[in-house]
Structure 1
Amino acid sequence: MIDPAAVNDSETRPIQPRRRSLLRDAGLAAVGAAAVGGMTAAGLGTASAGATTSSIPMNDVSQLVFVLILKYVTANYYLLAATGQSLGPDDTSGNFSFYTNTVGNFPGKTVIGGAAVPFKTAIFQQYADNIAADELTHLRYLRAVIAPTNNLYPMPVIDMAAVWTTIAVQAQLIVPGQTFNPFADEISFLLGAYFLEDLSVSYICGAVPTLSDASLSEYFGALSGADAYHAGTIRTLLARIGGGGPVAKLSALRQSLSGVVDTGILTPAGTVNIGPFGPQALMLTRTPVEAYNILYLTPGSSFPAGQTGGFFPAGIYS
């Protein structure tokens, strides 16, 4: 793996005690209400109380739901790393069940594992805190947009424990019998973040041309841009501390699971590789199936109702 001692000494300095109240102090409690107002202004639905319809085409709603489920994973990852807390009930419940195809009140499920990362490097902690706040904002906006359509899917059971050892074994970062915990230290945290970030960008960017609503397309474009900043930051930090080898293995695993070409933070010549770009220096994209094959850690899953594994030990239809 990566030796934490490889980090530049000038950046390894005492940091202030962790802010466990990140969610409250970030002023995010009102994000949901503000998002609904913005949604109405953008023509993406209605903010009226008890609304049950929306102008969003159903294909677009499906894309919103699959991005929401992805954000359940990424938001929990960063919130746990930054605060030691996973998403609460207000951010995980829903009014629609994929399994029964009914509308009602459905509580969100649990998150298995995860903990606050014992950061030693100030800049790493600050980035984790910042991305955690961004991910929570994204998730709350998506939920506010989806809710009036009666397709607000509750959070499924999400694994943040055993899944990481499975990833590390499949990527040949460790051998069977060993364990990998991305919350154990800041370097491991960056590797876990890397596995998720490029996936998020490629999927959301790939969804843009499939959307019918112009305002929603604009939002998805901006959302992929925000996630691209996150991904670029993680790639840069890993490049600076010599993470090329482990990152290349994680990229190879994502490629084997999705079938989409994936590139790490170094070129074959050993120079820095800014991003996973195609021949025209554009972001490589993934379809929902390709993205979820990575999340399931199973190629060719195609969303079958009985599919379980990876980050979803009970599937996403439970």
Structure 2
Amino acid sequence: MQFNKVLGKRIDRRTMISSMGVVGAGALLTACGVRAEPEPPMTDNVDAAILTFALNLEYLEAGFYLAAVGRINELKAIGGNADIILPDGVEGTNPSDAWSDGVREFANELAEHELAHVKFLRSALGDVLGVPVADRPTLNFSGSFAAAAEAAGILAAGEGAAFNPYANELFFLHGTFVFEDVGVTAYNGAAPFVTNKPIVLQNAAGILAVEAYHSGAVRHALYM
């Protein structure tokens, strides 16, 4: 994936990544309807609480990437009828013609992996743990990114109303960085509390490995 040729001149990406990672992630997840920190479980089934939080995060990631590659309807067919709010002018049913082959290929890979994670977690909750499976929450990829950018100090208050994370490859990759970094942190932090080691933990570790790969790939794209 030839990211460097695509992104062109080097801006101060380290500063932006740092601010988005520290401040923007919490604002982005909260605005999208997913808490950056899981609520204390209201059940004795800790594994179910952990996997439900993970599922909500995967709904969010899958929606972001599937919309980028024109496949949002694949997520709309799963987990209920809650709204998926995209920026003005983005339908989520057509990939961007302006993106390079390398970034488009990367986005499709991300979409495939995160959709697979959604399906696995739904199966793990319903078939393995035998608990109700959480429906997909309302996902907001419009105002949420504006809130994250403003919280991180990248945009002044009120300037982010029309911010579109799909407008160009750099914006998309910064959004990817936030999601994947949060994903790695969430799975790593939850792992010690999983009680079903042979099934739940083993498979969650596999998801963590994929999230870590994604995080490393997007860091390479933005830093290099």
Q: TM-score, normalised by structure 1?
A: 0.52
Counterpart AA for 1:82: V
Q: Equivalences for 1:1-318 in 2 at 5 Å?
A: 4-6=7-9, 58-83=45-70, 85-92=72-79, 107-114=80-87, 115=90, 116-148=95-127, 149-179=130-160, 180-214=163-197, 215-240=199-224
- Matched residues, number: 175
- In 2, Cα distance between the equivalents of 1:4 and 1:191? 12
Counterpart AA for 1:109: A
- In 2, Cα distance between the equivalents of 1:198 and 1:84? 23
Report the structure number with the largest CA radius of gyration: 1
Preserved contact between residue 61 and residue 151 of structure 1 (Cα < 8 Å): no
Counterpart AA for 2:51: L
Residues 99-127 of structure 1 show CA distances to partners (whole Å, capped at 9, x for unaligned) of xxxxxxxx331111153444432211110
Structure 1 gap ranges (5+):
8-56, 93-106, 241-318
Counterpart AA for 1:239: Y
- In 2, Cα distance between the equivalents of 1:219 and 1:167? 31
The higher relative CO (CA closer than 8 Å, separation ≥ 6) is in 2
Alpha-carbon shift at residue 229 of structure 1 (Å):
0.3
Q: 1:91 to 1:231 in 2, by over 3 A?
A: same
Q: Indicate the RMSD between aligned Cα atoms, in angstroms.
A: 1.9
Q: Secondary structure at the match of 2:149?
A: helix
- In 2, Cα distance between the equivalents of 1:178 and 1:142? 37
* Structure with the higher helix share, 1 or 2: 2
Alpha-carbon shift at residue 220 of structure 1 (Å):
1.2
Structure 2 gap ranges (5+):
1-5, 11-43
Q: TM-score, normalised by structure 2?
A: 0.72
Alpha-carbon shift at residue 232 of structure 1 (Å):
0.5
Q: Secondary structure at the match of 1:152?
A: coil
